[in-house]
Amino acid sequence: MSDEQSGAKNTLSIRDNRTGRDYEVEIHEGDVIRAMDLRQIKVDEGDFGMMSYDPAFVNTASTRSTVTYIDGANGILQYRGYPIEQLAERSSFLEVAYLLLKGELPTQSELDAFVQDVTFHTYVHENMRDLLDSFRYDAHSMGMMISAVSALSTFYPEAKNVHDPDTRWIQINRLVAKMPTLAAFAYRYHRGLPLVYPENELSYSANFLNMLFRIGVKEYRPNPVLERALDVLFILHADHEQNCSATTMRVIGSAEADPFSAMAGAMAALYGPLHGGANEQVLRMLHRIGDVKNVPEFIKGVKNREERLMGFGHRVYKSYDPRAAIIKRTAEEVFEVTGRNPLLDIALELERIALEEDFFVSRNLYPNVDFYSGLIYQALGFPVEMFPVLFAIPRTVGWLAQWQELIEDPEQRIARPRQVFTGSERREFVPVEERG
């Protein structure tokens, strides 16, 4: 029966019991009402009007987006409609980057041109070396990266011209291209190693591995399994719709800041241990547990709320994180080359126990993308400080796709949430000598 036959209407009726008035607001795109439609609900004319209160935006859509689709209940993740499993299996990171940024998979010639553009922009201004040199010897790589990306805005002042699509595209190419170079520089600085410059004939991932790990040889060719594993990890991390850092990117971008400055903010959000800093925390946690025999005691601590099981749980995925399943398989392939990471046994035992325990099952706590990625990064030779950086490199693409969508969206204006004020009412200033 159609809506018309059944008399069903795509509207929501609201009765304000304070006044007895009835309102009818339109329902859009399935289950969405416009928050501004609530504003008409008032007790009297002087009233501001009804708002919704939603700390942490748990039930608020801040945008319409065509980039990434997640069905958290069923463990589905799609970029521009393509399932993450197919992209991880059959695509390359730069092909996925093009898809996310442009909306469609590239033709061969479009892909070749994009790869050429990204390759062409991998070098950074030599002054960036001085900037990185100025950090303390033990500076965290992510802190260095955030500063470096923000500094890039001063090298490209034209990036402020955010409404010009051609200028935007050049900055996008620059950011995608320069992130691995800056990341490798930060890593080599940390290790006290001479910097290695980009090599244009290598793939995106191979070039990155070359800049990181080449020492004392003219040519460095990474193991193809490891090169592919890194590319797959990059694909899995490329975007994840309106998460904390993407929202930060959009909020800063809404003030029309240049993309380098906006991205430095997004990276700062990603750095947090509840977001992209979690993979680092997983490794630290596994080291702390130290042995499979200590796992039950650790789980007890989690249930007593003395600990948090890092790498578990997700705001959106409530069945499983499809990225975690792919990463677990990738880990096995990597370990065949590098040898088994001894922490894997602790991770597997944590997962086994957690998936049986009611505390985790009843709260829908499953391994997320960060649970196994750190083990792969460690096997590839990365120190833990580099883990959030390894998240930031591919997520650059997602941030920029989200930023571009925001800039082109006529409905978007400067982000400015409301508050429910709960502080004190007006009161008179008291001079310090009269305060009790």
Name the site residues for ligand CMC (rule: CB under 6 A): 240, 243, 274-276, 278, 302, 308-315, 363, 365, 368-370
Task: Provide DSSP, 28-78.
Answer: BTTTB--GGGGGG--SSTTS-------GGGTT------SSEEEETTTTEEE
Residue 201 CB, nearest approach to ligand CMC (Å): 34
Closest distance to ligand CMC from the beta carbon of 297 (Å): 15
Q: Is the CB of residue 96 less than 8 Å from the CB of residue 102? A: no
Rounded to a whole number of angstroms, the minimum distance from the CB of residue 308 to ligand CMC is 4
Q: Which residues are CB-contacts of 223 (< 8 A; sequence separation ≥ 6)? A: 337
Q: Which residue is nearest to ligand CMC (CB)?
A: 313
Q: What is the DSSP letter of 306?
A: S
Nearer to ligand CMC, 90 or 305 (CB): 305
Give me the catalytic one of 275, 287, 291, 409: 275
Q: 128 or 386, CB closer to ligand CMC?
A: 386
Q: What gap in Å lies between CA 266 and CA 387, rounded to an integer?
A: 16
Report in angstroms the alpha-carbon separations of 277 from 34, 57, 120, 230.
Answer: 34, 21, 30, 18
Q: Please say if 275 is a catalytic residue.
A: yes
State the CB neighbour count (10 A cutoff) for residue 53. Answer: 8
Nearer to ligand CMC, 360 or 403 (CB): 360
Handedness of CA 87, 89, 90, 93 (dihedral sign): positive
| Between 252 and 365, CB nearer to ligand CMC | 365
- Residue closer to ligand CMC, measured from CB, 253 or 276: 276
Q: Residue type for 47, please?
A: D
Return the number of the residue (196 or 326) whose C-beta is nearest ligand CMC.
326
Q: Work out how close the CB of 272 gets to ligand CMC at its nearest, in angstroms, rounded to a whole number.
A: 8
Angle at 356 between CA 351 and CA 362, to 5 degrees: 105
Identify whether the C-beta of residue 396 lies closer than 8 Å to the C-beta of residue 263: yes
Q: How far is the CB of 319 from ligand CMC (least distance, A)?
A: 14
| DSSP state letters, 157-185 | GGGG-TT-HHHHHHHHHHHHHHHHHHHHH
Of 140, 237, 314, 321, which residue is the catalytic one? Answer: 314
Catalytic site residue from 239, 258, 321, 370: 370
Determine the longest span between alpha carbons in the chain, in angstroms: 80
- Rounded to a whole number of angstroms, the minimum distance from the CB of residue 269 to ligand CMC is 9
d(C-alpha 278, C-alpha 396), whole Å: 18
Residues sharing a CB contact under 8 Å with residue 111, sequence separation 6 or more, in sequence order: 94, 95, 98
What is residue 202's three-state secondary structure?
coil
Whole-number Å distance between alpha carbons of 141 and 143: 5
Q: Are 388 and 277 in contact (CB under 8 A)?
A: yes
- Give the list of residues 6+ apart from residue 54 with CB closer than 8 angstroms, or none: 60
Q: Is 370 a catalytic residue?
A: yes
Of 312 and 372, nearer to ligand CMC (C-beta) is: 312
CB of residue 130 vs ligand CMC: minimum separation in angstroms?
A: 32
- Rank residues 63 and 364 by Cβ distance to ligand CMC and give the closer one: 364
CB of 425 to ligand CMC, least distance (A): 32
The CA-atom distances, in angstroms, between 59 and each of 140, 266, 399 are 34, 21, 21
- Catalytic residues, by residue number, are 275, 314, 370
